[in-house]
Structure 1
Amino acid sequence: MSRPSVRRVTWRALRARRGDLARLCGWSLVESLPALLAGLLVARAVDDGFLAGRLLDGLAWLGVLAVTVLVGAAATGRTYRSLGALVEPFRDEVAAQVVRGALRDATRAGGRPDSAAVTRLTHQMEIVRDTFAGLLMVTRGFLFSAGAALLGLLALAPVVAVLAAAPLLAGLVVFLAALPAMVGHQRAYVRAGEQLGQAASAALAGHRDVVACGAQARVVSDVERWVSAQAAAERTLARMAVIRSLSLGIGGWLPLVVLLSAAPWLVGRGLTAGAVLGALIYVSTGLQPALHTLVQGLGGGGLRYAVTLENILRAGPGPDGPHLPAPATGTPRFHPPARPVAGPPAVEVRELTFGYGPRARPVLENFSLTLADGEHLAVVGPSGVGKSTLAALLAGLVPPQAGTVHLAGATVADVEPADLARMRVLVPQEAYVFTGSLADNLRYLRPDAADDLLEGTVAALGAGPLATRLGGLDAPVVPALLSAGERQLIAAVRAWLAPAPLVVLDEATCHLDPALEATVESAFARRPGSLVVIAHRISSALRADRVLVLDGAEPVVGTHEQLMARSATYRALVGCWDDPVALPQTAATRRR
């Protein structure tokens, strides 16, 4: 399905808030009363008052005009309130679109963080909000003010309305004919700015490598090229102001010239001096300002709105963009997610090769591994050997240079992010906890989880004392007030509740004490599905069915007993990692 267009998104936002739009139009109608009555009241004041020798009558008509101006001013304040009710929710929706797009690109297979998303969420987002508000104001201002002025001219003298409307329409035609070219130049300007931001961000992020390789001149040249491109686009955009000036000259000033030139002829046809003056007032205070505001608004803010929103929609997810995985319904009692039916292995890695750079030594090379459904694997090895890289490869966060990763028979690279989220959950070392209630944090991956399921899971993972200290499931959670271990514990409960059959814990319990870590890992081991633990302590390996040893050479996999006999690295790790608690029985020993 194609992405929604700017026009469709705008109309959908307006239709969704028809009540607020109706209030804005209603107050705009009241606001336009001075534009509708100004010429008529001035004509009556001149013809029936001042020229007739009745000063008080003339002042009375002007007093009526003053009252209409006050009424219009009061209505102007109400229009801004109605405008806020339309603009702020629209801004929130577009911001959510930006975030969804950035998360989609960062979490899909082979995806990476998009530095331009920061520009879209800050600078471009504010442009959309401000220009959307400005677009609504100038459009409704032109429709009501120019419409009121034309109605007033018709009431004053139809022939005067024709003389004023003809150049007004000609000026509008000139402006609208040039509008597509203006949009194109504005689009080039916005994209040049975004490319400049990406180039500058990449240069700053890699400045050490740039200096080490002696590539300063090349990087400066690349960034300078984008600076020049943005400057050229801005100069071209500035030249389009000539078109706006031409349109204003034809539609705004030419009606005044026509009316002044035709004044003797109009008076000869019986038009009074007051009517001529009233017609000039309608043109100078109604039509001309309305056209000026419309041309400047559409030619400036309107172009920025269309192009910037188009850029955001282009980068965001489509209409059927990714959402959180829909969990299984109906969980009135404490029970784990359903075990998947028998089928292909939970994880199958085939001839996997990955390295950080084309000339870097591979972290993994021609690596293969099969993890059966329900199996518990621990990954151990020295720091920096590639354990977290393997976790990211299994989760589909980074693409391999060669080989494939399969989850439940599906190739990770071919799976959509939304489907991948239903297949695995990765818990990193730095746990994510957001401001909200404890229950909201725990239900993040399973929104329909009942309270008794939350309470049972909290107890099973040893998080009961934390929940009690916070004040229960409905208690507010402030991430800054939690320790690193407490945040990890909340993230572990959340992952246990997730409907995904595969859980990858990437040193996700490193800030817990050994006893609590054992409780958490034992709870995950009892959870139906498969478990991969990037171990922080050797006790994690002893709790696993099998252990994978990464040491920068040939990976070795086996049980604890097998590795003690086959792997010098594993023997060294067991000897070096001295836990303050007794090591548990191995999985193989338990099976005996």
Structure 2
Amino acid sequence: MSGPGVRRTTWAALRARRRALGRLAAWSAVEALPALLGGALVARAVDRGFLAGQFGTGLAWLAGLAAAVLVGAAASGRVYRSLGAVVEPFRDDLAARVVWGALRDATRAGGRADSASVARLTHQVEVVRDTFGGLLLVVRGFLFTAGAALLGLFALAPPLAGAVAAPLLVGLAVFAASLPAMVAHQRAQVSAGERLGRSAASALAGHRDVVACGAQERVVSDVDRRVTAQADAERTLARMAALRSLSLGVGGWLPVVVLVLAAPWLVRQGLSAGAVLGALVYVTTGLQPALHAVVQGVGGGGLRYAVTLDRILRTSPPPGPAPLPSTRPAADGAPATDGDAGPATRSDAASSPPAAGPAPRTGPAGEAGSVPPAVALRGLTFRYGPHARPVLTDLTLTVAAGEHVAVVGPSGAGKSTLAALVSGLVPPESGTVHLAGVPTAGTAPQELARLRVLLPQEAYVRTGSLGDNLRYLHPGVDDATVLAAVRTLGAGPLLSRLGGLDADLDPAALSAGERQLVAAVRAYLAPAPLVILDEATCHLDPTLEATVEHAFAHRGGTLVVIAHRISSATRARRVVVFDGDRPLVGTHDDLLLRSPVYRELVGHWEDVAPPARVPLGRP
């Protein structure tokens, strides 16, 4: 029914609990007592009681059947108790395996904690627990109930037992032959659902990046393909229910038809009417319900059990010593191979800028008046809601073309709001925003994407190849230019680890720093002249963050950085600090003298008090 790993794990779980399994089998045999005696007691009640004119004798035989039913019902309670003794330890073992695997991934070199993965796998453990219990229940029910019914039928009339057993075996054979296809379609349905979930979660997490790139249609199309694939898988799985119906028809209903049609002939051959009725009781109350339960149980919960357990076994290794790391850490703890550094290393960061992107500028070009400012804010006011306190009030700021500006301030001061306003993602309450002389108000997202590229903290990485992700904003760029950009931004170890530009990416398998690095290379290749980094390197280590910012500063065009570390501010030509109601603009040294908020931020970032400054005009 499934892969060897699922079979081995299932048999190991059953062997480890042989005593509990023995109790379950014993109580199941008692529970099957009505299936064993039902037809025979009905036959005697008819032949020796009602047809013989002995009404009391017939009722006595039926009373014996009622007693057997009561005994079987009492045994059912013991069956469920014994079932728990088998199922619950299996569930605990799987949960321990999942938690151990998550801890190992979080503590190994290059690993990371992934609570979402643990929650998903824990949910899958509960699915396995429920389906394993249901599967064990229906299989042992079929074995004992159908076996008891066939044994009773054979004792009642051996020829009838053969006539009933033949279609039953054919129905089971049809069902068994269809199981591999059912498992494959169930696995495809689960995989399609997981791919849809990853695609939708990735799109939602990076929605600012998607909107900033003007890529809504492409992302919606990608998610739509996943929805269609999942719907197709669901429909295919639903069509497989026809095979279950065929199995039930052949194995469960065909024996009834055979008995009804053959009844006159059987009576003429000397079989009593009670025996014929008893045979129908064995088929309709024993064999048919048992076959229906096992086909529906194995064809439904059994398939989910096989596929879900297979997913757990593939993603959660058995407990044991963690392997020694054979890689060295790179960005955000991501492993990078020691031997083959691939086409890029961090020492290449400042060399060979790619041909893609805007033409390099030697300095602020707007001063001569021939080139419009890269960013021009006039009287900008913004608040979240009509009665909220303004986040920005009457802000006027000009960023010249080719300039490098850093924006700093306390958390919640409005830095990311300013980035969203500058990029045109949200409209201001009043005032205007112009990018290279073009107003953001009324400009289509695709046009804005040609003017600026925004890298938010939540970087968007789509399912597909690494090369497709890096060319997301510049599809026509060649491999040589992409590899040059990878070298310039220090992403060579990541490229080597993933397997090159043609490697398929699973966004959920990348760390936050790796996703930021992919988005950084993508933005570096974009032809937009303005780059806005909204804490877009916060998950990178300081060295790699400096490499990325240095690359963007020498890329050509204009760079606005929402600073995450003080080093970002010291690298900028000008710094904008949110100090009170109005931002202050100046150089790093200038703001240390003028802004108490900036001095406090510098002291916090450096974890030391800033040096005392002698006031101007005093010794």
> TM-score, normalised to structure 1's length?
0.56
Structure 2 residue aligned with 1:232: 232
Deviations 1:53-105 (A, max 9, x none): 11111101100100110110111111111111211221122222233334444
Instruction: Give the fraction of aligned pairs with identical amino acids, expressed as a percent.
Output: 67
Measured after TM superposition, the shift of residue 134 of structure 1 is: 0.7
Measured after TM superposition, the shift of residue 122 of structure 1 is: 4.4
Change (3 A) 1:321 1:219: farther
Structure 2 residue aligned with 1:164: 164
Structure 1 residue aligned with 2:491: 401
Change (3 A) 1:112 1:220: farther
Amino acid at match of 1:310: D
Distance 1:176 1:363 in 2: 56
Change (3 A) 1:19 1:323: farther
Structure 1 residue aligned with 2:50: 50
Q: Contact conserved, 2:566 with 2:605, CA < 8 A, in 1?
A: no
Structure 1 residue aligned with 2:461: none
Q: Contact conserved, 1:32 with 1:72, CA < 8 A, in 2?
A: yes
Structure 2 residue aligned with 1:128: 128
Q: Contact conserved, 1:120 with 1:312, CA < 8 A, in 2?
A: no
Change (3 A) 1:576 1:10: closer
Distance 2:282 2:154 in 1: 11
Give the match's secondary structure for 1:5.
helix
Distance 1:349 1:128 in 2: 37
For this pair of structures, how many residues does the alignment match?
A: 368
Distance 1:221 1:574 in 2: 45
Structure 2 residue aligned with 1:222: 222
Distance 1:207 1:112 in 2: 23
Deviations 1:149-207 (A, max 9, x none): 00000110110100100000010011111111111000100111111121122122222
Q: Contact conserved, 2:28 with 2:76, CA < 8 A, in 1?
A: yes
Q: Contact conserved, 1:354 with 1:364, CA < 8 A, in 2?
A: no
Measured after TM superposition, the shift of residue 44 of structure 1 is: 0.7
Q: Contact conserved, 1:28 with 1:76, CA < 8 A, in 2?
A: yes
Structure 1 residue aligned with 2:37: 37
Q: Which moved more, 1:57-66 or 1:76-85?
A: 76-85
Matches within 5 A, 1:4-153: 5-111=5-111, 117-118=117-118, 120-153=120-153
Give the match's secondary structure for 2:298.
helix
Measured after TM superposition, the shift of residue 278 of structure 1 is: 0.3
| 2:307 is aligned with 1:297 | no
Distance 1:210 1:233 in 2: 28
Q: Contact conserved, 1:353 with 1:366, CA < 8 A, in 2?
A: no
Deviations 1:304-337 (A, max 9, x none): 11011111111121x4654599xxxxxxxxxxxx
Based on CA coordinates, which of the two structures has the bigger radius of gyration?
2
Distance 2:310 2:285 in 1: 35
Distance 2:299 2:306 in 1: 11
Matches within 5 A, 1:171-570: 171-317=171-317, 319=318, 321-322=320-321, 401-402=491-492, 551=567
Change (3 A) 1:268 1:577: closer
Change (3 A) 1:209 1:103: farther
Distance 1:51 1:103 in 2: 73
Q: Contact conserved, 1:35 with 1:149, CA < 8 A, in 2?
A: yes
Measured after TM superposition, the shift of residue 126 of structure 1 is: 2.5
Measured after TM superposition, the shift of residue 10 of structure 1 is: 0.6
Measured after TM superposition, the shift of residue 577 of structure 1 is: 5.5
Q: Which runs of 5+ in 1 are unaligned?
A: 326-347, 357-361, 368-381, 385-399, 405-411, 414-505, 507-548, 555-568, 580-592
Distance 1:304 1:247 in 2: 20
Change (3 A) 1:173 1:574: closer
Change (3 A) 1:7 1:157: same
Measured after TM superposition, the shift of residue 280 of structure 1 is: 0.4
Measured after TM superposition, the shift of residue 209 of structure 1 is: 1.8
Distance 2:72 2:261 in 1: 32
Amino acid at match of 2:491: Q
Measured after TM superposition, the shift of residue 120 of structure 1 is: 3.5
Q: Which runs of 5+ in 2 are unaligned?
A: 335-343, 350-408, 412-489, 499-540, 542-564, 572-598, 610-619
Q: Contact conserved, 1:38 with 1:65, CA < 8 A, in 2?
A: yes
CA RMSD of aligned residues (A): 4.0
Q: Contact conserved, 1:182 with 1:240, CA < 8 A, in 2?
A: yes
Amino acid at match of 2:310: E
Measured after TM superposition, the shift of residue 46 of structure 1 is: 0.6
Distance 2:119 2:254 in 1: 42
Q: Which moved more, 1:196-205 or 1:52-61?
A: 196-205
Give the match's secondary structure for 2:271.
coil
Amino acid at match of 1:401: A
